[in-house]
Amino acid sequence: MKKTIVVALANQKGGVGKTTTAVNFSACLAEKRKKVLLVDLDPQANATSGLGVEKGASVFSAMLGESGCQELIQKTGIKGLDIIPSEIDLAGSEVAIARYDDYLHRLRDAMEPVIESGVYDFIIFDCPPSLGILFMNALNTADEVIIPIQCEYFALEGLGVMVDIVNQIRDAGNPQLHISGILMTMYNLSTNLSQQVVQEVRTHFGKNVFDTLIPRNVRLSEAPSYGQPIIQYDSNCVGAIAYRTLAKEFLKRQKQSVPDEPGESSLYNLVPADLAEEL
């Protein structure tokens, strides 16, 4: 049976492109013939609406033991991509979950049947932008963490906090947890600031930083209002090419096969040279 890899997209700072990445990264993995489950853990439910799915019963009920996670899974408009949606009730979940002795492991216990079933290649958590109980539950369940950060200097402060949290949770009982990559988002090629921030992050974190850069792109901003990931909304825009490149780089880091897909012939000027050759 294949191993399901659980990836948390996490940053305690909001506005860094986390949900945009969760939706589009998941869709691009599915496009590369991987079976993916996206779990929307943010009460704002932006990942849910961004895939054109109605808000519905969230993982909250499973964490309370009132239902199984399998019952909550819904199909999306992308072949190979399923979702457990979010709802506004998730906002009050932390108070209810905190009453349990094992409150930091309720998500892990709820998700275990899905993880152990081997149905999915990847389970992606879109974490809320706060250091609360849902956030900690996600990191206690995950195998790895992708940290999106905006290309601005204030983002560097939050990055250090995230690295410390991952290390603490790994040492406290989730030994397999590690950072699979730091993702630079909202990159603006025309500004020195973006380039300086990328250089500084790579100086400090080296190979932990993805080579792929996610650009500022109007089409990426428009796609959620149509309930579509970027590969459906505008398959040839630079945002779509960037997220396809991210999926390819991620799978190479996982040492998994990366099938060629139609529509990958366009070359985006921020794509690393070694990956661009394969597009």
Q: What is the pLDDT of residues 205-251, one digit of tens each?
A: 889 999 999 999 999 999 999 999 999 999 999 999 999 999 999 99
Percent of the chain with pLDDT over 70: 91
pLDDT of residue 261: 54
Is residue 66 predicted with pLDDT exceeding 80?
yes
Q: How many independent structural domains does the chain possess?
A: 1
Residues 6+ apart with CB under 8 A from 108: 137, 140, 141
110: domain CATH number is 3.40.50.300
| Residue 84, strand partner residues | 39
CB 209 within 8 Å of CB 201: yes
Phi, psi dihedral angles at 105 (to 5 degrees): -125, 15
pTM of the model: 0.90
Identify the domain containing residue 230 by its residue range: 5-276
pLDDT of residue 1: 64
Highest mean pLDDT pick, 41-45, 58-62, 205-209, 235-239 = 235-239
